[in-house]
Amino acid sequence: MSSSKFKGLALFILAISQLVMALDYTIIFVAMPSLGNELGFSANHLQWVVSAFSLAYGGFLLLGGRLSDLLGRRRMFIIAMALFGLGSLLGGLSESQLMLIIARGVQGLGGALLSPATLSLIVSNFNEGAERNRAMGIWASMGGVGLSLGLLLGGVLTSYIGWEATFFVNVPIALVVILLAPIVLAESKVSTATRHYDAAGTISVTAGLLLIVYYLIQSPVEGWFSASTLPSVLLGAVLFLAFIMIEQRTKEPLIAFGLFRNRNLTGAALTAFLLSASFGSLYYFLTLYTQGVLHYSAIQSGLSFLPLTLSALLGARFINRILTKIGVAGTIAAGMGLGTIGFLLLTRLSETGTTWGIIPGTVIIGLGQALVFTTMFIAGSTGVDPKVQGVASALISTGQQIGGAVGLAVIMAMISAGMGTNESLETMMATELNQAIRTAFQIAAVTTLLGIAVAFLVLKQPKASENTDTKVTISH
């Protein structure tokens, strides 16, 4: 356990790490038009600024979870933050397309190692019960807030300093976290005589994930049955089947499939998938709307997301009361329901609209996102053996990454089919782009309805007397 005098600092650096990771996912959206113009990216190549991060992050998460369990969560946390800081520094210094895409990949790899270690450190550094729930609540709420804050900060930095600042801003934060971590965090790892890494399982699932995420990223551009993408998903599926066979035979598997018997963990991973497929697409499409339809500058676009950021902060403050009254499943269902309402309001956006037209939908979505994002991590850590906490956390984060890729791919496919065009959204005229964005929000609304079903059908329903055990205290 972390020393009591350092627990405040321990929570601070873990929460800041989560905030930075969430910020980095969305901060790039507002900066992309500027960096695309400066580095000469074509519309199709520009997507790799986002995709390189997603590919590395999604592909290496399970490996990151296993390494944090075996090598030590604090050690992996420090290594991961160093990688993330290095990727950020390289990104800000990039003068070519290739260097920027490599930098984003390094950032994604850092994130894949960081995410499981961070949640495991919350579990190992804070006592079970009210103390841990409070820490987990603050940590998880920083993720929800960071997603919306990234767009605001991205607009300010891009407008007043330049797109490079969206990368450089991470470097001093990473340095402070790396210096403080050995002092304020207690080390935590699995005691095992063999320290078996399950190399065959790790290689097969990591390669399989990389190939499938690549397919989901490239197919909307190249075509779902294109000769350049189809082999990757077929090989990825074969590797996944090989992974399942390997795990059933190995003594210390990367993933013990008994984990999936924990309904809370399975429900949390499915919730993470649907959250990213719906709420996660909001930032991309709203940025397209403000810049491509309303022709806002980067700073105007960023400021239009301020109500979303504030509502996410507000939603985090209510989690304590809501969890106490309706439990984990009810809270997630309520958050998804708010998402449904918010997305339906956004389907009414027009090409002659204003920021005021965005606010009602985004405020409601911000509240819902805070409820779902925080609660799914609380659910996913319930009843999980501390020995596999890193892998369990990685499963939830993998659900997030795959959900984001699948969600965007499905939305793009349905937009193309509905409009009868394979034209890039970035090159569409305002009227057609507005129609595409409205379609995206209709699909997101349907996805949140699936999230409500998962909450009630999959997540374990506690008795009324047990609801208080999941109580979380959020303080900002």
- pLDDT at site 179: 94
- pLDDT at site 335: 95
The verdict on 338 and 352 lying in the same domain is yes
- pLDDT at site 476: 32
The total number of structural domains that make up the chain: 2
Give dist(CA 311, CA 365) in Å, integer.
Answer: 8
Q: What is the overall mean pLDDT for the chain?
A: 83
Quick one: what percent of the chain has pLDDT higher than 90? 28
- pLDDT at site 391: 78
Assign residue 378 the CATH number of its domain. 1.20.1250.20
| Residue 472 included in any domain | no
Question: Would you give the DSSP letter of residue 292?
Answer: I
Check whether 301 has a pLDDT greater than 70: yes
| Residue 191 included in any domain | no
The verdict on 38 and 105 lying in the same domain is yes
| Residue 467 included in any domain | no
The verdict on 216 and 91 lying in the same domain is no
Give the tens place of pLDDT for each residue, 439-452. Answer: 999 999 999 999 99
Lowest mean pLDDT among 74-83, 129-138, 405-414: 129-138
- Residue range 411-427: average pLDDT? 78
| Residue 391 included in any domain | yes
The verdict on 88 and 204 lying in the same domain is no
Which residue reads 């239009």 in tokens? 304
| CA distance to 118, 221, 295, 441, 474, per residue, from 279 (Å) | 23, 22, 23, 9, 22
The verdict on 435 and 385 lying in the same domain is yes
Quick one: what percent of the chain has pLDDT higher than 70? 91
253, 278, 297 - which closes a domain: 253
The verdict on 305 and 419 lying in the same domain is yes
- Residue range 64-92: average pLDDT? 90
- Residue of 159 and 103 predicted with greater confidence: 103
Domain of 224 in residue numbering reads as 199-253
- Residue of 363 and 301 predicted with greater confidence: 363
- pLDDT at site 472: 43
- pLDDT at site 465: 40
- pLDDT at site 467: 45
Question: What secondary structure does DSSP assign to 230-278, as a single string?
Answer: HHHHHHHHHHHHHHHHHHHH-SS-SS-GGGGG-HHHHHHHHHHHHHHHH
The verdict on 414 and 401 lying in the same domain is yes
Give the tens place of pLDDT for each residue, 190-199. Answer: 665 555 667 7
The verdict on 98 and 243 lying in the same domain is no
| Residue 190 included in any domain | no
The verdict on 428 and 293 lying in the same domain is yes
- pLDDT at site 340: 97
Give the tens place of pLDDT for each residue, 14-26. Answer: 999 988 888 887 8
Give dist(CA 474, CA 137) in Å, integer.
Answer: 6
Measured in whole angstroms, the distance separating CA 363 from the mean position of its chain's CA atoms is 20
Which residue reads 């993408």 in tokens? 229
| Residue 468 included in any domain | no
The verdict on 155 and 239 lying in the same domain is no
Lowest mean pLDDT among 42-46, 231-235, 236-240, 363-367: 42-46
The verdict on 178 and 316 lying in the same domain is yes
